[in-house]
Structure 1
Amino acid sequence: MVPTYWKISDINSITLPVNASTQLPYTGQMELSGRKVSSIIDYEIDSLGVLRVNRDVIFPQLRTYPRSNEPEWKKYRAYFRRNYSDAIRPKIILNDTLLVPSQIDSVTISGMLRFYHSPIKDIQIIRTFYPSMDQRFIVEEYQLSNTSDSVKTLKFSNVSLTQKELGHKGNYTHQAFSTALDSIQLAKNETYSFPIYYGATLDEERKSSFNHQQALRTRQSFLDEMYSKLQLETPDPVINTFFYFSKIRAAESIFDSSMGIVHSPGGGNYYAGVWANDQIAHSGPFFPFLGYVQGNLAAYHAYVKFLKHLPKDGSRLPHAFEMDGMLVMDHLDRGAAAMVAYGTSLYLLTSGDERDAEKLWPLITYAIEYCHDMRNKDGVVQATSGKSNLATSSLYFGGLVYASRLAAELGKTVKQKVFQRRAEVLKQDIENYFGAVLDGLETYRQDDGNTQLGHWISLPLAMGIDDRKEGTLRALFERLWTPNGVLVQTSTNIPQKESVILDRATLHALRGAFRVGLVDTAYAKLAAYSKKRLLGERAPYAIEAYPGHMTKQLSTESALYCRIITEGVLGMEPIGFKTTELRPKLPEAWNFLELKDVYISGKPLTITLNRVERTNTIQVQIRIQGRTVLDKNIVNGDPLLLRFF
């Protein structure tokens, strides 16, 4: 039984009630991002229901100078940032008494973070956190309500704090200030609101651009768009709501940079940069389905950045561009070429843009030829260290499959045939080299000499390789599965409860399980995982790892969660720019699924699945702008080809 703290309030919000039945103390975290700011709000509710909040406010574009007594790697995390506790807040005075909002009644999350305080002398205080979507500040908005029958006179003493620092781009000024009136009168049921800003300016920028009302409007507009696009409806309200929340986290983590707007993982460490795994292979292929203009543009900019840095000497590709794209990360061989081959090809097929495909084709061919040249005598890809791992060869296989389809669309028939043949050979080489019996199961070893079950055995499934699906799925869902997700690796030396789990491995495993047809087992695990992340102790998003890395809410993991539905449950598989295969699979527990406003080949459409009563047949309906273009019954899990002209 998954322990829960939160409850679904409505389709787009969850609530943590704080009462006698709540398990206290409770600690929570939520990241909120806009194009020039990100904030990680850590909060704790102690055993008495008293709330404490810490605000870590990060300005991704403002790179600072590293300290002389810090290690060299700190330059890769040198963002201008500040932490603020509850010591920095305005004073609220009623009848010579200082009102301190401490006791808490409930917490609500709906793309914003809202704390409801217990009334103090008939004044209820609600605090709401949200970021500006386009300026360098976050807002903590106070709303005060008079719950009594008498008029209340309140006085305020605003907070104002300024700190300056010289950085790479000029003079930075961090400011925390509130703008309450000196005094107000509140009648019965009347409310008054004012903001506290946590922001930064560069050189001559003025803090007058800090406007909490405009920030609230743009944030709400963003949330409305996330709700309406790629809207999932199933019989499972937890999955519906977690899917919506995942869209928010995936799409909000887009930042201005020297490369143009780019998607970045966040989590306190990764901003205004692009990574071969997170952006190229994981989040980039998701955005075309969402149809979010900024998401698609951010993904495209990431691919172009890698294109502009093709090595002249045939050497390995960089695996990241950090700190506003200024720091090129090419000192390690992390399988970037395989990630680039896979992610770029899949993104281009899914988006259906021939012009972009022609421009990015040299990036794909470079990545593929590099992987081809780096094969060992057994035919699998090896790093410059000489080691070969399952993840890199699996991603390279995916890259060959999608690149061959892309070549066909671009009229490059020779390349199409070459890549198809290489994929066929590589699939067999993966089987021969990595196929193994571990812990009595026919699955894969992660690398040469590894005898422990490990998390990357999920990647062949995610790439559609099903040769060892039974043993691999048993390994993932029986031996490696924990209430928190998939373990990095089994080990006789480490108690399972102390072992590390990775959410992205869990998400790959779930997508792969649906893709290769283990529908009901995959659904049971998906339902448990979704409940744990949405309603458990680390609500409301997917995380990086547990117990390590402070369970950071990396946005990439949220994109991967959404891909479980699009590529897993619905089996969306781009064949060409205007051709997509669906292989929909309804779990036995569901009699319907609807995905509204999903973009396929650049067109928004609605996919509706309905189970034909007491059969393994489902009715598939496709609508474009309200017009039914397909209505067909198929066996659950059978393929269906969509063509757009």
Structure 2
Amino acid sequence: MKLLSAKPIFLFIVLCNGLLVSAQDRWAIQEDGSIRWEVKDRLPHTDHIEMSGEKVSVWVRYGLDSVGRSDIFRTVVFPTFRLLPDATRSHISYSFSDSDLPRLYVNNRLINLQLVKNGPGRTGELSYNIKSFSHKGIMKISAQAGTPALVNVERTIFPSTDKPLVLETFVIKNITDQPVNVYMEYLRKEVRTDANRSKGQQHSMIVGSVNDGTQTVAPGGSASFSIFYLASDTPQSLSAINPQQEETARAARVASLDDKLQLETPDKILNTAFAFAKLRATESIFKTKGGYMHGPGGLAYYAAIWANDQAEYINPFFAYLGDERGNLSAMNAYRHFAAYMNPAYKPIPSSIVAEGDANWHGAKDRGDQAMIAYGASRYAMTFGNIDSAKVLWPLIEWCLEYSRRKINEQGVVNSDSDELENRFSAGKANLSTNTLYYDALRSAAMLGRLLGKPTEAYLKQAAILRGNIEKYFGGTIEGFATYRYHENLEVLRAWICLPLTVGIMDRKEGTINALFSPRLWTADGLATEAGKGTFWDRSTLYALRGVLQAGETEKAMDFIRYYSRRRLLGEHVPYPVEAYPEGNQRHLSAESGLYCRIYIEGLFGIRPTGFNTFECTPRLPKDWNNMALRKINAFGNVFDVDVARAGTGKLLITAKGKKYTIREGATQVIKL
């Protein structure tokens, strides 16, 4: 399918069984890789985005009402400033609207952020007319003040890379032929937490101004003013704040991630969506007293780790990226989980929270041990470091033994719930836990051989489990030859896609038809359960990867293109989301890691088999002649994988200078 350009247009995609979905691009890709919404019509519109650094996260709701009045609202989260008792959400956070900011004046006339062109306002006030919004790690808002315009107003909002600090900067440019005086009020406000509830000591949150006062600006010149939002336990001795230095550091962090693990295809939207997902997946790593901890975010989940989000979803992605903080956070997550191993084989908690000081196990055993073993074994081989693998091996071994002890009379693994934590039924044994356990057994067998461990038993267990998965879960559900998600459930579930992602293709045709049927596929991807309005992007992202792995490349690509365009250029941008209606489509960061894995493990078919070896089963779409993954940092090497056509039915793979010619659909073992 030929994609149209990234201009605001209507995109129509015909899905299977006559389901037609239409969408209109609101955003457009720019030359620098950012995306921009040029405000023209189609109002009102409101959206939200999250941005994170090592010590802070900022969630911004932004948009315009029906007459163009701006609505900017920000919530600043400080993950390592906490209250008692220890809990998942015991971090401190504060919210601010535009009315909380110091006021800006031009030639003694107030820039009224709520006054639009030709709108009602007090005499002498200047209107504020937003022209565009843009994103690429730094949120930028372009506006003009005055009717006719006197100044351009460029506003940026971004987190510090390494401090508990968020900055909002206004750059006022004189666009008249006469000097203008620009003034910003002084602001400093401090809020202190309850000393009796503060963990460690009393915390202060301070909002204040930088470069406040009057500046005379010549024609064509600019004046810069900033507002800071910070947390501190020593408010009496704050260091000077340098907004430009902080913005330069944030831009450098974004550029460093942009430079790593690059996707190159003929499709600009896919390349750009991949680059954005890398950023969201990796920026949300917090430097805590318990080490680097990747956190999902979403105003709820910080300085904490989960067996699904971190151990299963994001850590295997970090093994390919080559970002130091990503790999430190991955190893640290597994170490935190390993601390809960015990000889009685009581389950490891689902989540380690409050910088490692507490845990959450509210949904009991969600299959967490299968999640951890799956992620840790894949991570260990992909990372390609034998010392790291030796550290992880006891955890993998323990988790596999835990799962073995949960096998029921039908030969599948029981668990109390699954990663949806009883939001939907999971029965006594569910497909998710068993599929992950199956793949973990196979990976552990490969990893164990590298470490000199006896692992034949794992291969035998995997073979038996695969047969039992078919017997226990296989069936005709709503007319499709696929899987029931758990015993006695005769309604389709999104997670029927999981067997495809681990190489179980026995029911691929019926499963793919079910996934893309009107019973499951919606405008926002897969419904969690057929007939329900709830969706979680994580299952859609697994499914798109699995359909590629199953060899249904063209069918998968239609849906990947549709999904990517909607998430990058549609109404809620620019990242994959968690869920709806729960969380209002928060940009939880691990989902972005799953998006990148669509291409790594699905499109390029990379599957780790050793510290310096992997299988490669590329799925080159029929309308592409080539594709590449650049600057892969995995298997102990930095290398590219190029895939190109090599005649009818053949592909040429180039990896680290070695060339391999294979049949389309075939698998090549690559040793670096």
Shorter-chain TM range is over 0.9
* In 2, Cα distance between equivalents of 1:362 and 1:329: 23
Give the corresponding residue for 1:77. 89
Q: Say whether the 8 Å CA contact 1:247–1:562 is kept in structure 2.
A: yes
* In 1, Cα distance between equivalents of 2:361 and 2:301: 16
Give the corresponding residue for 2:473. 434
* In 1, Cα distance between equivalents of 2:321 and 2:236: 34
Q: Deviations over 1:490-515 (max 9, x none)?
A: 13xx5xxxx01110000000111111
Q: Deviations over 1:389-423 (max 9, x none)?
A: 110001100110100100111111x2x20000000
Q: Could you tell me how far 1:11 is from its partner in structure 2?
A: 5.1
Q: Deviations over 1:471-500 (max 9, x none)?
A: 111111123111111000013xx5xxxx01
Q: Could you tell me how far 1:384 is from its partner in structure 2?
A: 5.1
SS in structure 2 of the partner of residue 285 of structure 1: helix
Give the corresponding residue for 1:626. none
Amino acid at match of 2:30: S
% identical aligned pairs: 36
Q: Say whether the 8 Å CA contact 1:619–1:632 is kept in structure 2.
A: yes
* In 1, Cα distance between equivalents of 2:315 and 2:240: 32
Give the corresponding residue for 1:49. 68
- The partner residue of 2:553 within 494, 513, 519 is 519
- Give the 5 Å matches for 1:211-610: 211-331=242-362, 332-383=364-415, 387-412=428-453, 414=454, 416-478=455-517, 479-491=519-531, 494=532, 499-610=533-644
SS in structure 2 of the partner of residue 286 of structure 1: helix
* In 2, Cα distance between equivalents of 1:339 and 1:357: 17
Q: Could you tell me how far 1:620 is from its partner in structure 2?
A: 1.8
Q: Say whether the 8 Å CA contact 1:291–1:602 is kept in structure 2.
A: no
* In 1, Cα distance between equivalents of 2:458 and 2:500: 20
Q: Say whether the 8 Å CA contact 1:135–1:210 is kept in structure 2.
A: no
Q: Deviations over 1:491-544 (max 9, x none)?
A: 3xx5xxxx0111000000011111121111011000000000001111011000
Give the corresponding residue for 2:43. 24
SS in structure 2 of the partner of residue 449 of structure 1: coil
Return closer, same or farther for 1:513/1:357 CA change in 2, 3 Å cut-off.
same
Amino acid at match of 1:145: K
Q: Say whether the 8 Å CA contact 2:438–2:465 is kept in structure 1.
A: yes
* In 2, Cα distance between equivalents of 1:29 and 1:44: 8
Q: Say whether the 8 Å CA contact 2:494–2:526 is kept in structure 1.
A: yes
Greater CA deviation, 376-385 or 551-560? 376-385
SS in structure 2 of the partner of residue 154 of structure 1: strand
Q: Could you tell me how far 1:80 is from its partner in structure 2?
A: 0.6
Amino acid at match of 1:418: A
Q: Deviations over 1:430-483 (max 9, x none)?
A: 000000101111100111111100011111111121111111111111231111
Amino acid at match of 1:433: Y
Q: Could you tell me how far 1:295 is from its partner in structure 2?
A: 0.3
Give the corresponding residue for 2:421. none
* In 2, Cα distance between equivalents of 1:205 and 1:340: 44
SS in structure 1 of the partner of residue 72 of structure 2: strand
Q: Could you tell me how far 1:333 is from its partner in structure 2?
A: 1.2
SS in structure 2 of the partner of residue 532 of structure 1: helix
Q: Say whether the 8 Å CA contact 1:170–1:203 is kept in structure 2.
A: no
Greater CA deviation, 50-59 or 98-107? 98-107
Give the corresponding residue for 1:62. 81
Amino acid at match of 1:107: F
Q: Could you tell me how far 1:194 is from its partner in structure 2?
A: 2.1
Q: Say whether the 8 Å CA contact 1:157–1:182 is kept in structure 2.
A: yes
Greater CA deviation, 269-278 or 632-641? 632-641
* In 2, Cα distance between equivalents of 1:209 and 1:352: 42
Asked if residue 93 in structure 1 is aligned to residue 105 in structure 2, the reply is yes
SS in structure 1 of the partner of residue 202 of structure 2: strand
Amino acid at match of 2:482: T
Give the corresponding residue for 1:138. 166
Give the corresponding residue for 2:130. 104
Q: Say whether the 8 Å CA contact 2:204–2:235 is kept in structure 1.
A: no
SS in structure 2 of the partner of residue 82 of structure 1: strand
Q: Say whether the 8 Å CA contact 2:367–2:416 is kept in structure 1.
A: no
Q: Say whether the 8 Å CA contact 1:11–1:237 is kept in structure 2.
A: no
* In 2, Cα distance between equivalents of 1:94 and 1:577: 62
Q: TM-score, normalised by structure 1?
A: 0.94
Q: Could you tell me how far 1:209 is from its partner in structure 2?
A: 4.8
Q: Say whether the 8 Å CA contact 1:580–1:641 is kept in structure 2.
A: yes
Greater CA deviation, 202-211 or 321-330? 202-211
Q: Say whether the 8 Å CA contact 1:171–1:203 is kept in structure 2.
A: no
Q: Could you tell me how far 1:356 is from its partner in structure 2?
A: 1.3
Q: Say whether the 8 Å CA contact 2:207–2:229 is kept in structure 1.
A: yes
Q: Could you tell me how far 1:159 is from its partner in structure 2?
A: 2.3
Asked if residue 185 in structure 1 is aligned to residue 206 in structure 2, the reply is no
* In 2, Cα distance between equivalents of 1:622 and 1:319: 38
Q: Could you tell me how far 1:212 is from its partner in structure 2?
A: 1.7
Q: Say whether the 8 Å CA contact 1:580–1:600 is kept in structure 2.
A: no
Greater CA deviation, 46-55 or 89-98? 89-98
* In 2, Cα distance between equivalents of 1:205 and 1:620: 60
* In 2, Cα distance between equivalents of 1:364 and 1:131: 36
Q: TM-score, normalised by structure 2?
A: 0.90
Greater CA deviation, 341-350 or 331-340? 331-340
Asked if residue 641 in structure 1 is aligned to residue 669 in structure 2, the reply is yes
Q: Could you tell me how far 1:256 is from its partner in structure 2?
A: 1.2
Say what the alpha-carbon RMSD is for the aligned residues: 1.5
Q: Deviations over 1:537-589 (max 9, x none)?
A: 11011000123311100000000000001011001111111111111111113
Amino acid at match of 1:113: M
Asked if residue 5 in structure 1 is aligned to residue 26 in structure 2, the reply is yes
Q: Could you tell me how far 1:182 is from its partner in structure 2?
A: 1.7
Q: Say whether the 8 Å CA contact 1:334–1:383 is kept in structure 2.
A: yes
Return closer, same or farther for 1:11/1:461 CA change in 2, 3 Å cut-off.
farther
Q: Say whether the 8 Å CA contact 1:155–1:182 is kept in structure 2.
A: yes
* In 2, Cα distance between equivalents of 1:474 and 1:398: 24
Asked if residue 124 in structure 1 is aligned to residue 152 in structure 2, the reply is yes
The size of the alignment, in residue pairs, is 621
Q: Could you tell me how far 1:79 is from its partner in structure 2?
A: 1.2
* In 1, Cα distance between equivalents of 2:281 and 2:97: 27
* In 2, Cα distance between equivalents of 1:474 and 1:244: 30
Q: Deviations over 1:113-144 (max 9, x none)?
A: 11111232411111101110100011111111
Structure 2: 5+ residue runs without aligned partners? 1-11, 13-22, 114-127, 418-426
Greater CA deviation, 589-598 or 236-245? 589-598
Give the corresponding residue for 1:619. 652
Amino acid at match of 2:667: P
Q: Say whether the 8 Å CA contact 1:158–1:178 is kept in structure 2.
A: yes
Amino acid at match of 1:635: R
Q: Say whether the 8 Å CA contact 1:139–1:196 is kept in structure 2.
A: yes
Q: Could you tell me how far 1:205 is from its partner in structure 2?
A: 7.2
* In 2, Cα distance between equivalents of 1:618 and 1:543: 34
* In 1, Cα distance between equivalents of 2:646 and 2:27: 35
* In 2, Cα distance between equivalents of 1:366 and 1:406: 14
* In 1, Cα distance between equivalents of 2:170 and 2:394: 53
Give the corresponding residue for 2:200. 169
Q: Say whether the 8 Å CA contact 2:81–2:231 is kept in structure 1.
A: no
Amino acid at match of 1:18: V
